[in-house]
Amino acid sequence: MTTMPRRLRILVDDEIEGLYGRPQFTQEERMEYFTLSREEKTVLEQLHSLKSRLHFVLQLGYFKARHLFFVFDLQEVMEDALYIRDQYVPGFQCTEIDITKVTRVRQQRVILELYNYRNCHAKERHQWETKAQQAAQVDSKPVYVFRELTH
């Protein structure tokens, strides 16, 4: 006897990866997402270590592309890291880019502030719940409700 999965599966793996996976940039996309504005450069200059600077630009570029943060190791992001090194931290040897969780979270807060993001409060969550209920009245398929909310 097979058991039913505990979670509702709305999207296929490719759709999930497309929405929530770490971006895989082309060279042109690297130029777009890793180019820093004046404000972003100001923040970058305030970071002390080259490793921290590299990691900040990686997080920033991925955030610009997906509006999400990712935890990654050097081998996963080597092409992006080498591009950033050449642009912003010349001379840095890309052998290890791990930073502490505290530093990573601090950088994420700075990025959120740069883009005027904030936590979702109870009022907004209630609005989303109402929107989901309205969408379910039109079509009760979970994928429809999900797409309406993401739209």
- Residue 87 in tokens: 């642009």
> What is the rounded average pLDDT of the residues 121-130?
91
**Residues 83 and 134 occupy one common structural domain:** no
pTM, rounded to two decimals = 0.82
Phi and psi angles of residue 46, each rounded to the nearest 5 degrees, phi first: -80, -15
Nearest in space to 135 (alpha carbons), one of 125, 150, 115: 150
Cβ atoms of 52 and 103 within 8 Å: the answer is yes
CA distance readout (Å), 71 to 8, 20, 47, 63, 100 = 26, 12, 19, 12, 11
Q: Clarify whether residues 63 and 134 are in a common domain.
A: no
Report which listed range, 4-8, 73-77, 88-92, is most confident: 73-77
Residue 135 belongs to domain spanning: 120-151
Residue with the bigger pLDDT between 85 and 16: it is 85
Q: Are residues 47 and 104 in the same domain?
A: yes
Burial classification of residue 101, based on how many CB atoms lie within 10 Å of its CB (0-12 exposed, 13-18 middle, 19 or more buried): exposed
Look up residue 134 and give its two tokens. Answer: 């309205």
Question: What contacts 74, CB < 8 A, 6 or more positions away?
Answer: 81, 94, 95, 96, 97, 98
Whether residues 73 and 147 fall in one domain: no
Count of domains observed in the chain: 2
pLDDT tens digits along 84-112? 999 998 888 888 888 999 999 999 999 99
73 and 40 together in one domain: yes
